[in-house]
Structure 1
Amino acid sequence: MSHVTLARPVGRLLRAATLATLLAGTGAAAVLAATPKDTLVVAWAIDDIITMDPAESFEISAGEIMGNTYDRLVRLNIEDPSKLYGDIAQSWTVSEDAKLYTFKLKPNLKFASGNPITAEDVAYSFQRAVKLDKSPAFILTQFGLTKDNVEQKVKAVDPTTVTLEVDKPYAPTLVLNCLSANIAAIVDKKLVESKAQNGDMGYGWLKTNYAGSGPYKIREWRANEILALERNDNYHGEKPKLPRVIYRHVKEAATQRLLLEKGDADIARNLTPQDLQALAASKDIKTTDRPKGTVYYISLNQKNGTLAKPEVRQAFKYLIDYDGLGKTLLKDIGIVHQNFLPVGLLGASTDAPFKLDVDKAKELLAKAGLSNGFKVTMDVRTVQPVQGIAENIQQTAKRAGIDIEIIPGDGRQTLTKYRARNHDIYIGQWGADYWDPHTNADTFARNPNNADDAATKPVAWRNAWDIPELTKQTDAAVLERDAEKRAEMYKKIQAEFRDTSPIAIIYQMNEVAAYRTNVEGLRVGVTSDTTYMFNVSKK
């Protein structure tokens, strides 16, 4: 079990009755009691969290933790995602050739450790992320940064000035938006290097520890159980209104609702349409929602010869009951959507050519020589609505002669298997890492190297989908400076993706958070890292 070792256990920070509730599900009996006034308790399925290192963290739940605990040069404006504001950057300039970015840091900044934040820390953070080369590193390496050149391309000019040199004249909005992503979080070089072992740049230590400067600091993490944040008194901006936030891993939506109703949780995050309907009449509970830059999809591994047949790929798109799901499992929490760009991003298409058509699917399967169907497995994270969608697809596929065996697992298990390309079928979600269309085009419609040992491993690679021509189109779109032309390029890419890909987009998430009426300031972000708990207070 992964955990952060701390000076004081989080239990001492909570009243005994609430602690018993937090430990329910691990063997202790639940005690119904209000949460402490100075602590925000969030019931959420956080079993997808694998690491606390921003250079490696690439999961939805972990993204939110990173957004609340680490600073970066710039941040997304959650009220208007088309705009950015300086986080630790006071100002920035872009050279005329759009290849050199210069950032001036705000003065007198400190990490949670008390160490000063300098341009050297910024340069080190970028260099470390590129050299470690973990899953999200491509967000930086796409700009020509490599292990060999990153120390020359990202430099501390003086204690408060850092420069970034990119290899091509990308749209500056793309580069800056990428620098708002978690991979660009700033880590405390002095602290991290003091924990380094055998030149690992603190990688072993930071997987379960903290070295940031954000509004909150990570106090304790017990995988699949609890994650505690504590106010960072060295934070440069307005301090969080609450001293601490406790994320409790609660997989079942019904249990989240019960905890919320009884006052044992302040916020619930994975509620089903049925749960939301049940809460609608409560005077003690409110909801807030927002369309999110997250899409859910089903993908077919092209290493499986049967699933690699073009007709099979298309058949699966006609075996999804989009309308039925939209009216039941996804009601209020999702918007039926068949394109990899979520609505809200430049060039997002709303075309939806597919609907449940078992006869059409059978025709396609017959063309592929599979009139008698076949057997296949599907890896599924056991949370709603993913599990319900999987069971729904299992039933519709059966009508076309496809026998799907569902293999359940927690978020870490299914993700690890998926990232190793060891699945047959996978149902996943992808949240925008930054607010630019390339964030999703780069993973769904780009696969520069389909080899097993490829350095870049986007969703297309995870499903062994070799697409050199579509990759070229995506590479061209990222260099187009005219917004209208660029939008049209992405619409063309999405159309080809719908027609040929082994991936069917099912819906765009409309995230709903239910909360007790004494909670104020809760606002769902458009990306996984922009739901800011540091803005939340309790009456």
Structure 2
Amino acid sequence: MKIIKQAVLAALLSAAVPLSAAYAATPADVLVVAQNIDDIVAIDPAQAYEFSSGELVTNIYDRLVQYEPEDLETLAGGLASDWEVDEAAKTITFTLRDGVTFHSGNPLRPQDVLFSFRRVVALEKAPAFILTQLGWTADNIEEMVTLGDNTVTIKYAGDFSPNFVLNVLAARPASIVDEVAVMENEVDGDFGNGWLNANSAGTGPFKLRVYRPAELATLDANPDYFKGAPAVSSVIIRHVAEAATQQLLLESGDVDMAKNLTPDQVGSLEGKDNVKVETYPQAAVHWFSFNQKVEALTDEAVWEAARYLVDYEGMTETFLKGQMQVHQAFWPSGFPGALDDTPFTYDPEKAKQILADAGVELPINVTMDVINSTPFTDIAQSLQSTFAEAGINFEILPGTGAQVITKYRARTHEAMLLYWGPDFMDPHSNAKAFAYNADNADDKYASTTTWRNAWAVPEELNQETLAALAEPDAEKRNEMYLDLQKKVQEKAPFVIMFQAVKQVGMGPQVEGFVNGATSDFVFYRLVDKN
């Protein structure tokens, strides 16, 4: 009976049903989520590099070490029961947990760990750099990752601490996949990449049952999960782009959770008995950038003036209220090494003077790519209005999340409005993205804002970024990151504006949902519908 109910519910949620149609209440053991998931480009953990795909990967796969919903601040054993560090030899030896099986029923083996890392390096998709920064290549991976009877020894090459390495191994591309199941579905040497973008092969608390891009994702609970079976039998994530539709579905009881509500909608829910709103600080910083392939956008005076053409307070006090706070540095507030100074305010007269003193030829007409959903379109319209006062005219180009991100990765945009979250919980994750670009050539792809905006970072910043990575003293290291953030604030072709705060509407019966500071810290395992 349970299977029939879930199948019927999934059919209802994926159908084009008029909003006036009647829906049945969600089953007691199924969590139904309304969320905008059109940013997803890929769900293979070797390729997934978007916020929504991060949530799926975290709930389907495990890593050797990982952060858990019970304690988001402590790195814990995942598929590894324990590990030993040899700092002199630059190695970490992991002992695998006994009795773990993949969703297929295949047992976890050391070979699966090597295979998972090898395919990330060989495929060279967007997040591969997270692992290759350890000195791993397709040619040396079997020397850097060696196997014992039930152990895996990781070797790294680089001047950084073991704690940095452990944080790298807790990142999304370090997820462990089932070699046997994946290779049974390999096509033309793709390491099963095509298959894993529609299926799953993990050990995690949930298994992917259905994924239809920009439509639906259904996760079924893994009853044999080594840390205990989830409380709900399924999670259905329905793509709902419109925030108003999400609110309607939530209030009518057709979904249990709405993830993309506007501040006005959140305010309208206050005092209602059938809905509650939970707030979760986020690590994502929101910014816009100028592609340095566009000649009119290469003058540093344009970058400087832009910082005074953003109505920071105006946006956070109106349509961004409760969703964003003013933040002007690349490492998010609340983490060690974060710069909380906000030296820039909306001052169009100062911006005009900066442009005039530099002899910048006006007007500048530039296209701005933006994700076609709230709050991105609202932010873009505010920027369009305030920048026009100084003679910088934005033509807004809305698109799906996947379209915008794909264009950005190809460096074919002019201006771009986007967000960035750490790939792993270490300041270097964002420092490398915003303050490092060793090779700006078109054929030297790097998953960084610097390369994607074609900014040839000054060598001084490149060297300081590497020095901060290698610094063993924690206090001194944080001071170096503070300095890096100040320098990027002052002179870079992007303007960091906000840090996100996420508000999630949910039914009063939903308990145990964990939404950490990044999409990799979104957990459904503890959710219970009392």
TM-score exceeds 0.5 = yes
Cα shift at 1:482: 0.7
**Mapping for residues 77-156 of structure 1, pairs under 5 Å:** 77-78=68-69, 81-97=72-88, 99-156=90-147
Give yes or no for contact 1:20–1:28 (8 Å, CA) kept in 2: no
Q: 1:257 matched to which residue of 2?
A: 247
Letter in 1 for 2:260: N
Q: What is the distance in 2 between the residues matched to 1:298 and 1:260?
A: 32
Q: 1:221 matched to which residue of 2?
A: 211
Letter in 1 for 2:280: R
Letter in 2 for 1:24: A
**Mapping for residues 513-524 of structure 1, pairs under 5 Å:** 513-524=504-515
- Residue 12 of structure 2 is aligned to residue 20 of structure 1: yes
SS of 2:515's equivalent? coil
Give yes or no for contact 2:87–2:162 (8 Å, CA) kept in 1: no
Deviations 1:39-70 (A, max 9, x none): 11111110011112000000000001111110
Q: 1:438 aligns with which of 428, 432, 438?
A: 428
Q: What is the distance in 2 between the residues matched to 1:288 and 1:219?
A: 28
**Mapping for residues 496-535 of structure 1, pairs under 5 Å:** 496-535=487-526
Q: What is the distance in 2 between the residues matched to 1:209 and 1:21?
A: 20
Letter in 2 for 1:484: E
Q: 1:98 to 1:335 in 2, by over 3 A?
A: farther
Letter in 1 for 2:16: A
Give yes or no for contact 1:213–1:234 (8 Å, CA) kept in 2: no
Cα shift at 1:78: 4.9
Cα shift at 1:85: 0.4
Cα shift at 1:198: 2.4
Q: What is the distance in 2 between the residues matched to 1:447 and 1:169?
A: 18
Q: 2:186 matched to which residue of 1?
A: 196
Q: What is the distance in 2 between the residues matched to 1:259 and 1:135?
A: 35
Deviations 1:212-262 (A, max 9, x none): 110001111111111111112332221111110011111111111111000
Cα shift at 1:11: 9.7
Q: 1:3 matched to which residue of 2?
A: none
Q: 2:380 aligns with which of 373, 390, 393?
A: 390
Deviations 1:68-106 (A, max 9, x none): 110111112456544200011100111031610110011
Q: What is the distance in 2 between the residues matched to 1:95 and 1:280?
A: 54
Q: 1:306 to 1:214 in 2, by over 3 A?
A: same
- Residue 472 of structure 2 is aligned to residue 487 of structure 1: no
Q: What is the distance in 1 between the residues matched to 2:469 and 2:9?
A: 54
Q: 1:471 matched to which residue of 2?
A: 462
SS of 1:63's equivalent? helix
SS of 1:50's equivalent? coil
Q: 1:6 matched to which residue of 2?
A: none
Q: 1:300 matched to which residue of 2?
A: 290
Deviations 1:154-212 (A, max 9, x none): 12222x20011111241222111111111000000011111112222112221221111
Q: What is the distance in 2 between the residues matched to 1:77 and 1:17?
A: 30
Q: 1:230 to 1:79 in 2, by over 3 A?
A: closer
Give yes or no for contact 2:217–2:238 (8 Å, CA) kept in 1: yes
Deviations 1:401-451 (A, max 9, x none): 111100010001001001000001111111122111111111111112111
**Mapping for residues 49-60 of structure 1, pairs under 5 Å:** 49-60=40-51
- Residue 278 of structure 2 is aligned to residue 288 of structure 1: yes
Segments of 4+ in structure 1 off by > 6 A? none
Is there any run of 5+ residues in structure 2 with no aligned partner, and where?
A: none
Q: 1:346 matched to which residue of 2?
A: 336
Q: 1:372 to 1:448 in 2, by over 3 A?
A: closer
Cα shift at 1:463: 0.4
Cα shift at 1:455: 4.1
Q: 1:207 aligns with which of 190, 197, 211?
A: 197
Q: What is the distance in 1 between the residues matched to 2:416 and 2:127?
A: 20
SS of 2:289's equivalent? strand
- Residue 393 of structure 2 is aligned to residue 407 of structure 1: no
Q: What is the distance in 2 between the residues matched to 1:51 and 1:20?
A: 25
Q: What is the distance in 1 between the residues matched to 2:137 and 2:10?
A: 48
Q: What is the distance in 1 between the residues matched to 2:113 and 2:10?
A: 40
Identity %, equivalent residues:
44
Letter in 1 for 2:404: T
SS of 2:365's equivalent? strand
- Residue 145 of structure 2 is aligned to residue 177 of structure 1: no
Q: Which moved more, 1:27-36 or 1:124-133?
A: 27-36
- Residue 252 of structure 2 is aligned to residue 270 of structure 1: no
Give yes or no for contact 1:43–1:248 (8 Å, CA) kept in 2: yes
Give yes or no for contact 1:74–1:180 (8 Å, CA) kept in 2: yes
Q: 1:450 aligns with which of 440, 447, 458?
A: 440
Q: What is the distance in 2 between the residues matched to 1:115 and 1:534?
A: 22
SS of 2:470's equivalent? coil
Q: 1:373 matched to which residue of 2?
A: 363
SS of 1:495's equivalent? helix
SS of 2:37's equivalent? coil
Give yes or no for contact 2:40–2:402 (8 Å, CA) kept in 1: yes
Letter in 2 for 1:130: V
Count of matched residue pairs: 528
Cα shift at 1:29: 6.9
Cα shift at 1:507: 0.8
Deviations 1:248-296 (A, max 9, x none): 1111111111110000110011111101000012111112112111111
Q: What is the distance in 1 between the residues matched to 2:479 and 2:155?
A: 28
SS of 1:102's equivalent? strand
Give yes or no for contact 2:127–2:447 (8 Å, CA) kept in 1: no
Letter in 2 for 1:527: T
Q: Which moved more, 1:344-353 or 1:231-240?
A: 231-240
Cα shift at 1:453: 0.8
SS of 1:195's equivalent? coil
Q: Which moved more, 1:526-535 or 1:57-66?
A: 526-535
